[in-house]
Structure 1
Amino acid sequence: MSVIRQLVESVPLPNMVEIRQRFPNPTVEDVDDTVNRAFAAESSSIAWPSSGEIAVVVGSRGISEIDQVTRAVVNQLKSRGYQPFVIPGMGSHGGATAQGQKDVLASLGVTEDFVGAPIRSSMEVVQLGQLPNGLPIYMDKLAHEADGIVVINRIKPHTAFRGPYESGIVKMIAIGLGKQKGAESCHKLGFGHMAEHIVQVAEASLQTGKILAGVAIIENAYDRIADIQVLPANGILAREPALLMRAKSFMPRILVDEFDVLVIDEIGKDISGDGMDPNITGRYATPFATGGPKVTRICVRRLTERTHGNANGIGVADTTTKQVFDAIDFEKTYPNALTSTVIDPVKLPMVLENDKLAIQTAIKTSNVLREADVRLVHIRTTLHLDVIRVSESLLPVLRNRDDVEIMSDPMEWHFDAVGALNTALSWR
């Protein structure tokens, strides 16, 4: 028996209770109708070209129904007589290659057959100018050559900085539409300057007259679309901050402010730019963003299939499994760090042989006097927080809340012969 196993395998695992957390739930039921109404409401304020090709910019985030939103935007543009095409707007994601970014879109369901438009992916850019401090401003060359640009993105809190514009249309224009070079330029001086830089870059891009509108998506706490609004180019800067505040009000969270161990089944770029959303975990890779619970140890069990080996975010975990380590593609993971200049998210936590040892190691190192009393939360991903599991020790702070439903009796953990968690038995 290895020394590691000897030190860890006797650590007790708490019995777990499945609970349902309730959050506000406004939901868009018909994506096509909502997109069409949003364009109709703002059409007179959009500087439509007389004809030609329109680039529809789509990012790499795991946005709910992004394939359907993209198709609805494409159809809306076709109905106005334009020839739309889709381009990836994702900075350095997809390994910072044209094919890699096209593959990311396909993994999100954004394919030529589904959206009804060609997908043109290139890392070539044109330089529009430079910021007052000398940093260059870039735009995707294919988009710049089009007769117009429509940018699609979700509005939500960023994972590494705070400001009136965080993740949204402005950031997509500055970083996503700027491709790897634009992302690298915006990140050059670090996240302490990001809130300022993305606005300056977006202003320069808007001044080209190429950008027609932004399609802003707000999601509810259940990973469903809560609202879709079209922002004409001349209204993006004025209207996005209010949408960000609204998006923050819809954010899910773990309804415990402080606990010892967080076990996360999966992380990935399709879940969050940081693999797991720091707004949920409370664990940030920079000092320029705060919020979320206070957690002593984080254990990550797997990478999502859709992340394609990109393990960005694993570095803020404390323990993980050999299965995660073996799944990491460093060619896909490191470009994010090299572009953003933030390397903590790609560092490696303790790597344990299996799920059981990884969870036990997180408990053992969480500085709890009696390990049997550990306060532990188990979630599938940071996108799915309606049904979660909590240790019995957390029931006193959750049992009497109106927004919490206790769904099960206390349950033991179920592992197979090689220490892998049996999720079919662990989750009801």
Structure 2
Amino acid sequence: MMKLPTLQRVRQIAPQPTVADVPAETRRAWLTSKLAKRIKPGMRIAVGCGSRGIKNYLAIAKATIDALKELGAQPFVVAAMGSHGGATPQGQRELLASYFIDEEHLGVPVLTDMDAVNVGTNSWNLPVWWDKNALAADGVVTVSRVKPHTDFRGRFESGILKMLTIGLGKRHGADQVHSWGVRGLAEMMPESAKLLMAKTPFLGGLAIVENTNEETAILKVVDKDDLFEEEPPLLVQARELMGKIPFDKLDVLIVGECGKNYSGAGLDPNVVGRLLIEASPEMELAASKPRITRIGVLDVSPESHGNATGIGIADLVTNRSLANIDPKPFRMNNLTARFLWRSKLPIGFETDRECIQQCVETCWNPEEENLRVAVIPNTLEVADLWVSPTLITEAKANPHLDVVGDPRDWPFDASGALNQEALFPHSVRARRTPHA
């Protein structure tokens, strides 16, 4: 049996743009925007909020609500997450509440009904669906993180336009677009958006771009008339800023948790270099870096509510992660999205130690002294990672990487569980369990 290499911490230190005062900048973005002139006193404004993990989410949503009130509007929140949360009102309410997007923290109604209305036919001669509560409002805006999508490449990926069509389309809208696979997302989604901008009270949205450290980097309100011109450059900026694994090739990548709060795909293909899209080998080639032989996942985040979408991107997992899957939301999300390869269940092992050991044993590199191993908490928080000695040599030659502390052994307890909180004390997992 191969010996596990020692680990040493590496920190990515390239300068990053950051918004210093997020609530103040959110307020300024709304009040000074072209969109603000569309809002008149007394208007009922629906604010679309989705299921993605966004840094400063509550602060941004609260500042948005307050800015709309300052403009004289009567804001309320509508769930804009397609079929997530098991495609049920309660499931979507629970997802939003897990980010503190609820009546208690925002002081406005939060509506999660799944009713959608057919608002017309797009250029593909197909029906387009939209949230009934949003359609009844005087105006609709969204709070949307702009970032590279996990399933396809196009001028519009994750962002305002996607939330407009799929998020506010509820289950019907998500099903309609995803039924066409990659073509539906890249080609039909913008066509449906054109119809929605003409037939609904949609006004525009707040675009959020985050940096490598998952901090708020850009806040910009985009008016609906400018959406097709202004969102694509924001996507380019997001792609340049997003967190990446700073090595071109790994034998083994160990991921502490997969989860919908970290990526729509559970494990972000833009980070791990695996798209796993059926009948799309060209897309597989597009995600060429990093090239990773073996990926192991140790857990599913509780924020996923049992939806372990994307767990099949991993090769080996723990039995614990498989046991944390709730079949209902897991099947609903995957059957609606129609990207099924990603969620085939990998081989499971009883302990973290066994899973990690088997990743090393099967990584096609039997030279212990040359193993290229990295450990990250999830695919959202990759500014800090732990790596094997071979990668430390490369890291020391990279001016954007800082090698921190001394080498150490893997922190397993007596039961074979990896102490992830010890490795990543500032991660989502560690903040969830402050006693650790």
TM-score by length of 2: 0.93
Match of 1:375 in 2: 372
1:135-154 alignment, distance < 5 Å: 135-154=126-145
Are 1:175 and 2:166 matched, yes or no? yes
Match of 1:257 in 2: 248
Match of 1:304 in 2: 301
1:144-188 Cα offsets, whole Å, 9 max, x none, are 011110111011100110011110101110100101110000011
1:355-378 Cα offsets, whole Å, 9 max, x none, are 011011111111113245321010
% identical equivalent positions: 38
Once residues 42 and 189 of structure 2 are traced to their aligned partners in structure 1, the CA distance between those partners, rounded to angstroms, is 30
Contact map agreement 2:39 2:71 (CA 8 A) in 1: no
Once residues 200 and 304 of structure 2 are traced to their aligned partners in structure 1, the CA distance between those partners, rounded to angstroms, is 35
Match of 1:155 in 2: 146
Counterpart pick for 2:395 among 391, 394, 398: 398
Match of 1:86 in 2: 77
Once residues 260 and 322 of structure 2 are traced to their aligned partners in structure 1, the CA distance between those partners, rounded to angstroms, is 16
Runs of 4+ in 1 over 6 A off after TM superposition: none
Are 1:33 and 2:12 matched, yes or no? no
Deviation at 1:25, TM superposition (A): 1.6
Match of 2:428 in 1: none
1:78-157 alignment, distance < 5 Å: 78-157=69-148
Deviation at 1:214, TM superposition (A): 0.7
1:257-278 Cα offsets, whole Å, 9 max, x none, are 0111100001111111011211
Contact map agreement 2:54 2:145 (CA 8 A) in 1: yes
Contact map agreement 1:160 1:191 (CA 8 A) in 2: yes
Query: CA separation of 1:427/1:340 partners in 2, compared to 1, >3 Å: closer, same or farther?
Result: closer
Once residues 370 and 136 of structure 2 are traced to their aligned partners in structure 1, the CA distance between those partners, rounded to angstroms, is 62
Letter in 2 for 1:207: A
Match of 1:418 in 2: 415
Letter in 1 for 2:415: V
Once residues 387 and 44 of structure 1 are traced to their aligned partners in structure 2, the CA distance between those partners, rounded to angstroms, is 38
Contact map agreement 1:258 1:295 (CA 8 A) in 2: yes
Match of 1:191 in 2: 182
Give the SS at the match of 2:110. coil
Are 1:275 and 2:266 matched, yes or no? yes
Deviation at 1:427, TM superposition (A): 5.1
Contact map agreement 1:11 1:364 (CA 8 A) in 2: yes
* Structure 1 spans left out of the alignment, 5+ residues: 1-9
1:39-66 Cα offsets, whole Å, 9 max, x none, are 2322467433563311100010001111
Give the SS at the match of 2:299. strand
Letter in 2 for 1:274: A
Once residues 40 and 337 of structure 2 are traced to their aligned partners in structure 1, the CA distance between those partners, rounded to angstroms, is 35
1:191-210 alignment, distance < 5 Å: 191-210=182-201
Once residues 310 and 96 of structure 1 are traced to their aligned partners in structure 2, the CA distance between those partners, rounded to angstroms, is 12
Letter in 2 for 1:195: A
Letter in 2 for 1:304: S
Letter in 2 for 1:276: L
TM-score by length of 1: 0.94
Once residues 139 and 347 of structure 1 are traced to their aligned partners in structure 2, the CA distance between those partners, rounded to angstroms, is 31
Letter in 2 for 1:390: V
Match of 1:294 in 2: 291
Query: CA separation of 1:159/1:24 partners in 2, compared to 1, >3 Å: closer, same or farther?
Result: farther
Deviates further, 295-304 or 361-370: 361-370
The Cα RMSD (Å) is 1.6
Counterpart pick for 1:347 among 344, 352, 356: 344
- Number of equivalences: 419
Once residues 88 and 24 of structure 1 are traced to their aligned partners in structure 2, the CA distance between those partners, rounded to angstroms, is 35
1:8-19 alignment, distance < 5 Å: 10-19=1-10
Counterpart pick for 2:227 among 236, 248, 252: 236
Deviation at 1:131, TM superposition (A): 2.6
Letter in 1 for 2:328: E
Once residues 337 and 147 of structure 2 are traced to their aligned partners in structure 1, the CA distance between those partners, rounded to angstroms, is 19
Counterpart pick for 2:12 among 21, 26, 32: 21
Counterpart pick for 1:225 among 209, 213, 216: 216
